[in-house]
């Protein structure tokens, strides 16, 4: 029996594949390569010394997913596949609703038909909106400011309703904070297409000289230095959180924050990256980015209590590993 990892060649999916195989799981990857590269499969096979079955399919394609479930037997599913660019989701909302909702519905439907009960879903801290920090899992969700965030909140509700109707389903909704970093080998990491939207990949491209300078989006937030505060988590810690969720899977719907519980401002982040990697990051402060909140960090006590999981790596590790990956893999 294997674990099906959809989006297994993407940033978080690929690191989770490594963590699963390290713990002895057999893994099958389904990925449509829309935002990932087939080379990641070779890198994963090198890192794990395993041949990993790979299906280039779209998870909204019901026939293709049904055939996959005929070919392979699964004890659980981890569903990463989805679009994730916040800005793009504002410009192309239907693309986001169609893909992110239909993939989740299709996969859950086939799991139900085939009796696969363990279902882990990639959610996001974005569902908390502008709640008070630290965000905890019992909070009433507030509207997010973009269709991407809405798809996460909607998928959470869809899976919750499925559990209501079908009590032996075991659903874990994992709310990620800000995953960054890379596998310490530099074999896999974050490789966004085009100009990055997120802070770490933008900084590593400034560090290589590919981009001229970082724009800091606002220094007039009600935070100690005026810049946005986020809970950055090493992608390997996040990956291990998925293994913990799988091992502690139980009937019902269970929500867990996966973060460190520690907030870091943009200026603190830049200072840490510069110190750890001994590279100057030129930046200028520009107006706030629409949709950003001042603060986002997790109350991580539930994951610790119920999954026996906490993040082990700090921001220094994240900056070191992200830069190592960029140096080894940037083309210029």
String of b and e for 267-303 (b: at least 16 CB within 10 Å)? bebbebbeebbeeebebeeeeeeeeebbbbbbbbebb
By the 8 A CB rule, do 7 and 82 touch? yes
Residue 84, interface with ligand UFG (CB under 6 A)? yes
The residues in 234-253 that bind ligand UFG, with binding defined as CB under 6 A, are none
Q: How far apart are alpha carbons 171 and 246 in whole angstroms? A: 10
Q: Nearest residue to ligand UFG, using CB?
A: 228
- 197 by DSSP, 3-state: which? coil
Q: How far apart are alpha carbons 178 and 250 in whole angstroms? A: 26
- Among 76, 134, 147, 228, the residue binding ligand UFG under the rule CB under 6 A is 228
CB under 6 A: which stretch of 114-122, 130-138, 156-164, 208-216 binds ligand UFG? 208-216
Residue 262, interface with ligand UFG (CB under 6 A)? no
148 is catalytic: yes
Closest CB to ligand UFG among residues 3, 318: 318
Region of 209 please: left (phi>0), alpha (psi -120 to 50) or beta.
left
Q: Which distant-in-sequence residues (6+ apart) come within 8 Å of 94 by Cβ?
A: none
Residue 197, interface with ligand UFG (CB under 6 A)? yes
Q: How many helices (H) and strands (E) does the chain have?
A: 12, 14
State the DSSP H helix or E strand holding residue 151, giving kind and residue range, or none if neither.
helix 147-165
- Among 40, 120, 162, 266, the residue binding ligand UFG under the rule CB under 6 A is 266
- Among 3, 12, 125, 174, the residue binding ligand UFG under the rule CB under 6 A is 125
According to DSSP, residue 249 is labeled -
β-partners of residue 293 are none
Cα–Cα distance list, 317 to 68, 208, 215, 271 (Å): 38, 19, 23, 14
The residues in 168-187 that bind ligand UFG, with binding defined as CB under 6 A, are 178
The residues in 294-313 that bind ligand UFG, with binding defined as CB under 6 A, are 296
By the 8 A CB rule, do 158 and 104 touch? yes
Residue 206, interface with ligand UFG (CB under 6 A)? no
Residue 230, interface with ligand UFG (CB under 6 A)? yes
- Among 26, 98, 117, 289, the residue binding ligand UFG under the rule CB under 6 A is 289
The residues in 25-64 that bind ligand UFG, with binding defined as CB under 6 A, are none
CB under 6 A: which stretch of 73-81, 236-244, 255-263, 288-296 binds ligand UFG? 288-296
Active site residues per annotation: 148
Chain positions contacting ligand UFG, by CB under 6 A: 84, 86, 124-126, 149, 178, 197-199, 202, 214-217, 228, 230, 266, 289, 292, 296
């Amino acid at each position: 029996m294997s674990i099906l990892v959809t989006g297994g060649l993407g940033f978080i999916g690929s690191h989770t594949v490594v963590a699963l195989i390290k713990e002895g799981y057999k893994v099958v990857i389904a990925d449509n390569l829309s935002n990932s590269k087939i080379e990641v499969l070779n890198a994963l096979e090198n890192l794990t010394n395993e041949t990993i079955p790979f299906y280039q399919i779209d998870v909204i394609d019901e026939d293709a997913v049904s055939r996959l479930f005929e070919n392979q037997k699964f004890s659980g599913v981890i569903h990463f596949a989805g679009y994730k660019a916040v800005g793009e989701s504002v410009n192309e909302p239907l693309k986001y609703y169609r893909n992110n909702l239909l993939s989740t519905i299709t996969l859950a439907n086939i799991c139900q038909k085939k009796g696969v009960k363990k279902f882990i879903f990639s959610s996001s801290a974005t569902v908390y909106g502008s709640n008070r920090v630290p965000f905890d899992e019992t909070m009433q969700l507030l509207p997010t400011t973009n269709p991407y965030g809405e798809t996460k909140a909607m998928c959470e509700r869809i899976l919750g309703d499925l559990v209501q109707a079908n009590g032996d389903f075991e659903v874990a909704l994992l709310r990620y904070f800000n995953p960054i970093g890379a596998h310490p080998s530099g074999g896999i990491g974050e490789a966004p297409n085009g100009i990055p939207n997120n802070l770490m990949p933008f900084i590593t491209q400034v560090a290589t000289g590919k981009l001229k300078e970082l724009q800091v989006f606002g220094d007039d937030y009600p935070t100690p230095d005026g810049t946005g505060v986020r809970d950055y988590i090493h992608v390997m810690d996040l990956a291990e959180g998925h293994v913990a969720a799988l091992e502690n899977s139980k009937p019902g719907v269970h929500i867990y924050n996966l973060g460190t519980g520690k907030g870091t401002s943009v200026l603190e982040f830049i200072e840490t990256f510069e110190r750890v990697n001994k590279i100057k990051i030129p930046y200028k402060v520009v107006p706030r980015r629409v949709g950003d909140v001042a603060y986002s960090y997790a109350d991580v006590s539930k994951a610790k209590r119920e999954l026996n999981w906490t993040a082990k790596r700090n921001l220094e590790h994240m900056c070191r590993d992200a830069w190592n990956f960029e140096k080894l893999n940037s083309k210029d």
